[in-house]
Chains A and B, each alone.
Chain A
Amino acid sequence: MPLSRELKQEMFWIMLLSRRLDERAWVLHRQGKIAFHISGIGQEAAQVGAVYAIEKGKDWLVPYYRDLAMVIAMGMSPTEFVKSLMGKAGEPTSGARQMPSHFSLRRANVLSHSAPVATQSPHASGIGLGIKLDGGDEVVLTTIGEGATSQGEWYEAVNFAAIHNLPVIFLVENNRYAISVPQEKQMAVSSAADKACGLGLPGIEVDGTHMFEVYDAVAEAVANARQGKGPSVIEAKLYRLTPHSSDDDDRSYRTREEVEEHKKQDPLIVMKDLFIEQGLMTEEAYHELEEKAKKRVDEAIEEAIRAPYPKGKEAATPVYAEEVRNV
């Protein structure tokens, strides 16, 4: 289904808002106001393009820790995100139990994930199995970095989905580095999409800096999955423009020249130029959006700062779906 002008504009807005929110998290960390941040900068076009290909409120998202823009698109508010950065009470991913960017949003079918990488992939296939057993036509979008596709869990998840023809889209956000280890030391193939052929499902490679290319590829995979034609692997090629996390110093493993070169292909700039060129947005409208994003992020930070911390003793629960622990 071709995207309407309004939807395209909304997608750009989500990209922009997520970027400004993500950038501000780095600032908050440098100011000593938050303890940790892990970033999705450089991956927003792929994330927004992919997530707009699934149906909000119906389909499932099983994300990984760089998917801020995806989760914002699924309805997490900037205030909720900043609360999670600050470990404030009532943030919706974990009630401030998890580190920031360990996403979950029950109200939008966004499943909780952990930090050991690739553990989420079998869950996506398990949800896909549930959908198939119930005869539903929902689909599951699950994401992962290219490094984590080295884990057996990813292969096992894709293998099972392929065997049972499950409605799962395995999106690999190939940002070229797993902390410091480049793709070349992660796999002997040039794309994680190439791994699909050994598992018996389509593997598609797309330009992850181009939102609509990603959208088109994922939309086609979603249509196939919905029609019972099974899973797909899609690799979005992109570049991690920041260090791995606020605790990383990427100068030890890549040159500034390399990073600067990739900043020319910053998906936000690529998309902004495309939108203006295609008449989807004027320069003036863009500046209005920037103002709006800044205001929204400012408000989020103010609200999150005002929000209370959880009480220490709240950590005692909830361990079981009904409490039986010897406390």
Chain B
Amino acid sequence: MSEITMVEAIRQAMDEELARDENVFVIGEDVGVRGGVFRATQGLFEKYGEDRVIDSPLAELTIVGIGIGAAVYGKRPICEIQFADFIFPAFNQIISEAAKMFYRSNGQWSVPMVIRAPYGGGIGGGLYHSQSVEAFFTQVPGLKVVIPSNPYDAKGLLKSAVRDPNPVLFFEPKKGYRLIKGEVPEDDKEYTVPIGPAKVTREGQDLTVFAYGMMHHYAMGAAEAVAKEGIDVEVVDLRTLYPVDRETILASVQKTSKALIVHEANLTGGYGAEVAATIAEWGFMNLDAPVRRLAGPDVPAVPFSHPMEEWFMINPEKIADAIRDLAAF
């Protein structure tokens, strides 16, 4: 095992999948010579050449639309959208085409592709380099939506995504790219993390925090902080947002009887609403308190100026406060 960053884990996953399967290729803006604006594809252009690490035109629907065509032909595209905020030109291709191709052709045509996109705020990126867009896609059968929170999962889940016969949206917490480090098997090129199951990442008795991506990282810190005060928090890393792992969610609520859901995307209609509804519908009899959501405020996006960005963003202190409130209920 060696300790690496999130972005290095992602780079390694692509490197190993490119080496494993000649049908795999990467396409996106600046992924080639530049190695990606976050360096997620650094060195891949030199190693695999311009046919397998393709600098696309500055046009996101091109990246995804071309990916879909290549996928139905039999290739395994990894499409990079430079920032999740820029995914919307490709929305039609993702929703109308990638998600529905298998169903609408009664299983004749499948779209084995990955769409990677860095998401999330707290990096001074303002409205259009900070958004969390997952909820636009977690309502769409035919897609899988994955958000890793640590290098081990990032590498293992991305490798699973590349091998998955369906379109997978893979959102990467960009603030954690270099901030979050973790152990990843060095020599085991075959290790993967399955798409689907959530994971209990911290056992506890008093309440459960459900989170993913950067917010999971913060939730673990908050859980440690309140542990000193005697609050025993369970943390569940949702990891795969769609399809939903209802069993893990409900099992944890059965154990702790209280649920707090944390995400940095806007509150209303956000992914937390689905988790809350899942608990309300199938876990109601286990609840000792109302389900709580801690999420980004309902303003259009994250503002640029630092004090305003701080106001918007969820941080470990805000999570700890929400935990204290819920524990006291």
Instruction: List residues of A whose CB falls within 8 A of some B CB.
Output: 60, 62, 92-95, 97-98, 102, 104, 106, 111-112, 114, 116, 119, 121-131, 133, 152-153, 156-157, 159-160, 163, 318-322, 324-326
On whether A123 and B97 interact (CB within 8 A), knowing A106-B108, A320-B166, the answer reads yes
| Chain B residue contacts of A60, Cβ below 8 A | 73
Q: Is the Cβ of A126 less than 8 Å from the Cβ of B104?
A: no
In the complex, how many angstroms separate the beta carbon of A313 from the nearest chain B beta carbon?
14
- Given the complex, which residues of B lie within 8 Å of A111, measured CB to CB? 72, 109
Between-chain CB contacts (< 8 Å), 21 pairs? A94-B106, A106-B108, A106-B109, A114-B104, A122-B65, A123-B69, A123-B97, A125-B65, A126-B68, A126-B70, A126-B71, A127-B72, A130-B73, A159-B57, A160-B56, A318-B106, A319-B142, A320-B165, A324-B243, A326-B244, A326-B246
B99 to chain A, nearest CB (A): 9
Say whether B243 contacts A130, CB under 8 Å. no
Contacts of A131 in B (CB 8 A): 73
List 4 tightest A-B contacts by C-beta distance, closest first: A126-B69, A122-B65, A95-B106, A130-B73
Across-interface contacts of B68 in A (CB, < 8 A):
122-123, 126
Inter-subunit contact A153/B57 (CB<8 Å): no
B146 CB contacts on chain A under 8 angstroms: none
- Asked if A322 contacts B104 (CB within 8 A), the reply is no
Whether A126 pairs with B105 at a CB distance below 8 angstroms is no
Which of B72, B73, B93, B166 is A119 in contact with, Cβ under 8 Å?
B93
Count of B interface residues, CB-CB < 8 Å: 48
Within 8 Å of chain A (Cβ to Cβ): is B67?
A: yes
B105 partner residues in chain A, CB cutoff 8 A: 93-94, 104, 106, 112
B141 touches A325 (CB 8 A): yes
Contact for A112 among B59, B77, B104, CB less than 8 A? B104
Question: Pick the contact of B104 from A97, A130, A153, A159 — CB < 8 Å?
Answer: A97
Residues of B near A159 (CB, < 8 A) are: 57, 59, 62
Docked pose: A326 CA to B110 CA in angstroms: 20
Do residues B102 and A130 form an inter-chain contact, with CB atoms below 8 A? no
Bound-state Cα–Cα, A60 to B69, Å: 11
Chain A nearest Cβ from B247, distance in angstroms: 9
Chain A residue nearest to B27 in the complex (CB): A129
Alpha-carbon distance A194/B106, docked complex (angstroms) = 38
A259 to B51: give the CA distance in the assembly, Å.
50
The answer, among B65, B75, B164, for a CB contact under 8 Å with A130, is B75
Contact (Cβ within 8 A) B104 A160: no
Q: How far is the CA of A142 from the CA of B124 in the complex (A)?
A: 44
A187 vs B112: C-alpha distance when bound (angstroms):
36
Q: Is B92 an interface residue (CB 8 A)?
A: yes
Once the chains bind, are B104 and A119 in contact (CB under 8 Å)? Answer: no
Interfacial chain B residues near A112, Cβ < 8 Å: 101, 104-105, 108-109
Whether A156 lies near B70 (C-beta < 8 A) is: no
Interface contacts (Cβ under 8 Å), in number, total 138
B100 CB-CB contact with A under 8 Å: yes
Is B69 a contact of A127 with CB atoms below 8 Å? Answer: yes
Complex CA distance for A94 and B89, rounded to whole angstroms: 27
CB–CB B106/A123 < 8 A: no
Q: Give the distance in Å from the alpha carbon of A271 to the alpha carbon of B41 in the complex.
A: 56
- B290 an interface residue at 8 Å Cβ cutoff? no
Interface string of B74-112 (1 = CB under 8 A from A): 110100000000000100110011001111111111101
Residue of B59, B75, B165 near A156 (CB, 8 A) is: B59
Min CB gap A66→B, angstroms:
18
Q: Which residues of A contact B67 (CB under 8 A)?
A: 126
Q: What 0/1 pattern do residues 193 to 219 of B give for CB contact below 8 A with A?
A: 000100000000000000000000000
User: Does B97 lie within 8 Å of A326, measured CB to CB?
Assistant: no
A102, A160, A318: which contacts B66 (Cβ < 8 A)? A160
> Which A residues are CB-close (under 8 A) to B109?
104, 106, 111-112
A44 to B268, CA, bound (A): 51
B21-38: CB near A (< 8 Å → 1, else 0) gives 000010000000000000
Contacts of A319 in B (CB 8 A): 102-103, 141-142
CB B50 to nearest CB in A, in angstroms, measures 10
- Nearest-Cβ distance from residue B144 to partner chain A, whole angstroms: 8
Shortest distance in angstroms between A151's beta carbon and chain B's nearest beta carbon? Answer: 9
Residues of B with C-beta under 8 A to A104: 104-105, 108-109
In the assembled complex, the CB of B274 is this many whole angstroms from the nearest CB of chain A, namely 11
The docked-state distance in angstroms from the alpha carbon of A130 to that of B144 is 24
Hey, which chain A residues are within 8 Å of B70, CB to CB? Answer: 126-127, 129-130, 133
Can you list, as one digit per residue, whether each of B168-184 has a CB less than 8 Å from chain A (1) or not (0)?
00000000000000000
Q: Say yes or no: A160 contacts B73, CB within 8 Å.
A: no
- Asked if residues A122 and B72 are in contact (CB atoms below 8 Å), the reply is no
Q: What's the minimum C-beta distance from A167 to chain B, rounded to whole angstroms?
A: 12
B-side contacts of A102, CB under 8 Å: 104
For A318, the closest partner residue in chain B by CB is B107
The distance from the CB of B12 to the nearest CB of chain A, in whole angstroms, is 23
Question: CB distance A119 to B66 under 8 Å?
Answer: no
B238 interface residue per 8 A CB criterion: no
Determine the distance from Cα of A124 to Cα of B73 in the docked complex, in whole angstroms. Answer: 10
Q: What residues of B have a CB within 8 angstroms of the CB of A62 in the complex?
A: 69
- With contacts A112-B101, A128-B69, A130-B74 known, what are 20 further pairs, Cβ within 8 A? A97-B104, A98-B104, A104-B104, A114-B104, A119-B92, A119-B96, A122-B61, A122-B62, A123-B72, A123-B97, A126-B67, A127-B69, A127-B72, A129-B73, A157-B62, A318-B102, A319-B102, A320-B142, A320-B144, A321-B166
